[in-house]
Amino acid sequence: MTEKLTTEDVEELLETSNRQIREETATFHRYLMDEIDWQDRLICIKGSRGTGKTTLMRQRLKEHFGVDTQQALYASLDDLWFARHRVKDLVEYLYEHGYTHLFLDEVHHLGKDWSLVVKNIADQFRKINIVYSGSSLLQLEKASGDLSRRQSTYVLNGMSFREYLELEGVLEHRPLALEEIVSDHVRIATAIDDKLKVLPHFEAYRRSGFYPFYRESRSKFHERLAETVKKVLEVDYPAIDEVSQDTIRKTRKMLMILSECCPQTPNMSKLYKELDTGRDQGLKMLKALQRAGLLALLDARGLKLDNLSKPEKIYVDNPNLMRALVSRIDVGVERETYFFCQTRKDHAVAYTGVGDFVIDRKWTFEVGGKGKGFTQIAGLPKSYVVNDEISVGHGNKIPLWLFGFLY
């Protein structure tokens, strides 16, 4: 039985939390801030590294509770303080001292039984609201503690093009529904392009705009992004799944091979042979890369990867990451990567033998450059050509950049 924590024991953590909240200066809010029901007692925010989960939690704490609050605490579980103390003992101290909210970051540092720890503190201290974040490598809905029935889970995606423009201070605009874009794109795009010349901003976003930390150092952005990928594979992956160093090495090699050949339909048998691994292990590695937000998998029928021998196409998750991983960018692949990245948040995007993508089993889209026409989708109902390098479209030709306004 451990002794209860004293104020002296917790003082270091409280000071760290208060300092971090005071220093949080960001005023721009990600889309998820308004989507979360903050009254829920157990909230999980997941997403890949670098999308802004930490900033989101600190903003909420600072704006709702103020600085130097004695109601809420922010703590990152990779803090060395937790090498000497248990989370449960911290929550007990906070409970006894009138705290009502706890924001826990980097929850996977609790180890493979993290979900059981969260479940136990949520069950035993029912007057404390808990918000926690986790890497997308975590299988949150299938966790051993069965948290899915107790918590509200939200996913924070990388920034949309719309959010990027707002963060840069050049345009504020509400998100658009896909139905609006396909039916009224000419009027919408004209109104936006009249306010700013959108294409230079669009090119800048594709280089470095998906991850909010690009503003910290634009010249070192892709280098930092490559380091983030390394941390995902070498720290997050083994922390969640019990994998060997050999598996980590093979997973890294798989990522690099697939990044260079995206988005062609891969010969998975040949790939597994090159990696010296079997089909089952290869699929597990592929799924880990998808869950980590490094690869995006496109299939024809909406099946989960567990039920597939292989996806129809494999993409790097987003254009920024593509530039960090791939030595020579294929602009056609980058266009498809952007479109897939921006549309799949709230829509079912699938492969189609005619055209590039079908969305919600309703709309077919062919993505290409300025001169792309309807040859490949001629005669299909509700089919559209998505053109890069144009500010405003016409008829069923829609500018590519506009799909970045979906969230």
What does 293-354 look like in DSSP terms, one character per residue?
TSEEEE-SS---GGG-SS-SEEEESSHHHHHHH-SS--HHHHHHHHHHHHHTTTS-EEE-SS
pLDDT of 266 reads 74
pLDDT of 309 reads 60
pLDDT of 143 reads 56
226 in the same domain as 90:
no
Mean pLDDT of all residues belonging to the chain = 92
Q: Residue 383 carries which DSSP code?
A: E
- Give, in order, the Cα–Cα distances in Å from 148 to each of 42, 47, 119, 301: 10, 16, 10, 26
pLDDT of 168 reads 97
pLDDT of 138 reads 58
Checking if the pLDDT of 123 tops 80, the result is: yes
256 in the same domain as 196:
yes
Element (H, E) at 102: strand 101-105
- Highest mean pLDDT out of 34-48, 292-306, 308-322: 34-48
Query: Is residue 2, in this structure, part of any structural domain at all?
Result: no
Residues 386, 368 contacting (CB under 8 angstroms): yes
Domain boundary among 133, 155, 177: 155
Query: Is residue 79, in this structure, part of any structural domain at all?
Result: yes
CA dihedral 20, 26, 29, 30 (to 10 degrees): -70
Residues 352, 364 contacting (CB under 8 angstroms): yes
Query: Is residue 304, in this structure, part of any structural domain at all?
Result: yes
Domain boundary among 108, 128, 155: 155
Using pLDDT thresholds of 50, 70 and 90, give the confidence band for residue 139. low
Q: What is the CATH number of the domain that holds 29?
A: 3.40.50.300
Average the pLDDT over 250-257 and give the result.
96
Specify burial of residue 174 (Cβ count, 10 A radius: 0-12, 13-18, 19+).
Answer: exposed
pLDDT of 235 reads 86
- Give, in order, the Cα–Cα distances in Å from 97 to each of 17, 79, 91, 304: 16, 22, 10, 46
124 in the same domain as 181:
no
172 in the same domain as 70:
no
The percentage of residues in the chain with a pLDDT greater than 70, rounded to a whole number, is 95
pLDDT of 383 reads 96
Residues 64, 310 contacting (CB under 8 angstroms): no
239 in the same domain as 94:
no
Checking if the pLDDT of 216 tops 70, the result is: yes
186 in the same domain as 145:
no
pLDDT of 110 reads 87
Average the pLDDT over 290-316 and give the result.
78
Residues 251, 282 contacting (CB under 8 angstroms): no
Query: Is residue 384, in this structure, part of any structural domain at all?
Result: yes
Query: Is residue 1, in this structure, part of any structural domain at all?
Result: no
pTM value surpassing 0.75: yes
296 DSSP β-pair partners: 315
Q: What is the distance between the alpha carbons of residues 116 and 107, in angstroms, rounded to a whole number?
A: 11
Domain boundary among 101, 131, 155: 155
Checking if the pLDDT of 91 tops 70, the result is: yes
140 in the same domain as 190:
no
Average the pLDDT over 177-190 and give the result.
98
Query: Is residue 21, in this structure, part of any structural domain at all?
Result: yes
Q: Are strands 129-135 and 349-351 parallel, antiparallel or unpaired?
A: unpaired
175 in the same domain as 253:
yes
Average the pLDDT over 209-216 and give the result.
96
Checking if the pLDDT of 157 tops 90, the result is: yes
Checking if the pLDDT of 215 tops 90, the result is: yes
Task: Please tell me the total count of domains within the chain.
Answer: 2
328 in the same domain as 203:
yes
Using pLDDT thresholds of 50, 70 and 90, give the confidence band for residue 268. confident
Using pLDDT thresholds of 50, 70 and 90, give the confidence band for residue 120. very high
Query: Is residue 255, in this structure, part of any structural domain at all?
Result: yes
| 250 closest CA partner among 289, 308, 305 | 289
271 in the same domain as 241:
yes
189 in the same domain as 114:
no
Identify the domain containing residue 304 by its residue range: 164-405
Checking if the pLDDT of 67 tops 80, the result is: yes
390 in the same domain as 249:
yes
Using pLDDT thresholds of 50, 70 and 90, give the confidence band for residue 1. low
| 205 closest CA partner among 319, 88, 356, 100 | 319
Using pLDDT thresholds of 50, 70 and 90, give the confidence band for residue 112. confident
> Could you count the other beta carbons within 10 Å of the beta carbon of residue 41?
15
Average the pLDDT over 177-200 and give the result.
97
Checking if the pLDDT of 149 tops 90, the result is: no
Comparing 282 with 301, the larger pLDDT belongs to 282
